[in-house]
Amino acid sequence: MKLGILIICFLLLTGSSQFFNIKKNLTINYFLNKNSIQNTLNHWNDIVEVAAHKYKVDEKLIKSIIYVESSGNPCAKSKSNAIGLMQIKPSSAGAEVYRLYGKKGQPSIKELYNPKINIDMGTAYISFLQKKFSTIKNKDVMRYATIVSYVNGASALLKTFSKNSKEAIDIINTMTTQSFYTHVKKNIQQFKHLVT
C-alpha cells in the first residue's frame, strides 16, 4: 500500500500521468492532491534543496518519500523502528549511510529525529541506491527500482527477479517501465519477509 501511495505522490509531484488511463468523462477522486502535498512539505523546502544539491537527487523524489513515509511529521516512528521524516531505520539504512560517511555504528534516535540530519541521511541513502542501480538502462525503471528499494530494501526487490543480483539487473534491463511496475506490484509483497 505504501509503495503505491509513494508512486502516486511522485507522479503527482512530477505532473506525469502516463500510468493513469483517465478518460475525459470519468472523474477519479484521490485523497491526495498536489496542493495538499506541497503545503505539507513547505516546512522542509530549504533542507530538501540543500540535500538534493549535495547528493544530486531530485527534490521531488525526496519530497515524495517524506510525504509517504511520515506525512511530513518529523516525530514519526513506525512499529519497525523507522524514525523521522524519511523513516530511516538506524540498523539498516542508517548504518549504511554511516558507512558512506566513513563512520562506524549507526545513528542515534536523537539524530534521526532532527529534520536536517534525517533528510540528509535519507537523501544520501537514495543516492546510494541510485548508484547501486546505475546499470539499469531505462531511467524510469531505475527511478522506480530506487523507490521500491527505499521502501522495501534492495535485496527484496532484486530477489523478486533472481537470487543473483547481476542476473536480476540483467532481467530488469529487458523490461519496459510498465512491465517492471506490474512485476513489482505482483511480486514485492511475497518477499516482504526478506526486509530486515
Domain extent, residue 180, equals 133-196
Of 132, 162, 178, the position where a domain reaches its end is: 132
Q: What is the 3-state secondary structure (H, E, C) of 105-116?
A: CCCCHHHHHCHH
Q: How high is the mean pLDDT of the chain?
A: 84
Residue 175: CB atoms within 10 A of its CB come to 18
pLDDT reported for residue 187: 87
Q: Are 76 and 161 in contact (CB under 8 A)?
A: no
Mean pLDDT value across residues 25-48: 71
Of 106, 132, 158, the position where a domain reaches its end is: 132
- Give the integer Cα–Cα distance in Å for 128 and 186: 26
pLDDT bin (cut points 50, 70, 90) of residue 193 is very low
Lowest mean pLDDT segment, chosen from 17-26, 126-135, 150-159: 17-26
pLDDT reported for residue 188: 77
Same domain for 155 and 63, yes or no, is: no
Mean pLDDT value across residues 138-152: 93
Q: How many domains does the chain have?
A: 2
Phi (first) and psi of residue 74, to 5 degrees? -70, -15
Of 111, 132, 153, the position where a domain reaches its end is: 132
Is the pLDDT at 5 greater than 70? The verdict is no
